[in-house]
Amino acid sequence: MLKPKSLRETLINHVPLLAQNPARLQVLMPSGQIVSTFAPSLSFEYHYQLRLIVTDYTDDIDLIIVPILVWLRENQPEMMASAEKCRTGFTFKTEAVSDACCNINIDLQLTERVMVRQEEDALHVDHLGEPPLPENVNRPIRLYVNGVLLSELHA
């Protein structure tokens, strides 16, 4: 699966506290399923819960949420397409560790499409990307919180 590594890299590259200490970010997959049919192809989809745990976090939670939203727009755009997916696809909990910091648990419901094709006596596996965004969507390149530039985002 490709999305967990991609999201981890995004957060480490764009969240100042995680850039300084990447060990504070844990990426787990507590559950998932394979969706496949009895079609001629062995192609399938991964459907899984991705859990992000950020420990001892002391900054504004917006610094984590906004880069995830940017990443989701490119990598899981259907999560923002319906009211139900908006309610259940991206959830979080915080746990106070002290007055100054907390642990943040973020759960994302993700999918990845995998094409399996047979050529003679060999199977070839390719992970498929998401359909491209419509051309009229402006993609942000900088993240400001309270007027302060904190991170450069992927264009």
Round to whole Å and give the CA distance between 115 and 34. 13
CA 117 from centroid of its chain's CA atoms: 27
**Helical H segments across 21-151, by residue range:** 62-75, 83-88
Whether residue 106 contacts residue 10, with contact meaning beta carbons closer than 8 Å, is answered with no
The hierarchical CATH code for the domain 3-131 is 3.30.2000
pLDDT tens for the 155 residues of the chain, in order = 899 999 999 999 999 999 999 999 999 999 999 999 888 889 999 999 999 999 999 999 999 999 999 999 889 988 888 778 878 899 999 999 998 899 999 999 999 999 999 999 999 999 998 776 666 666 677 888 888 888 876 65
Whether residue 7 contacts residue 48, with contact meaning beta carbons closer than 8 Å, is answered with no
The partner residues of 148 in beta bridges, in order of sequence, read 145
Q: Where are the domains of the chain?
A: 3-131
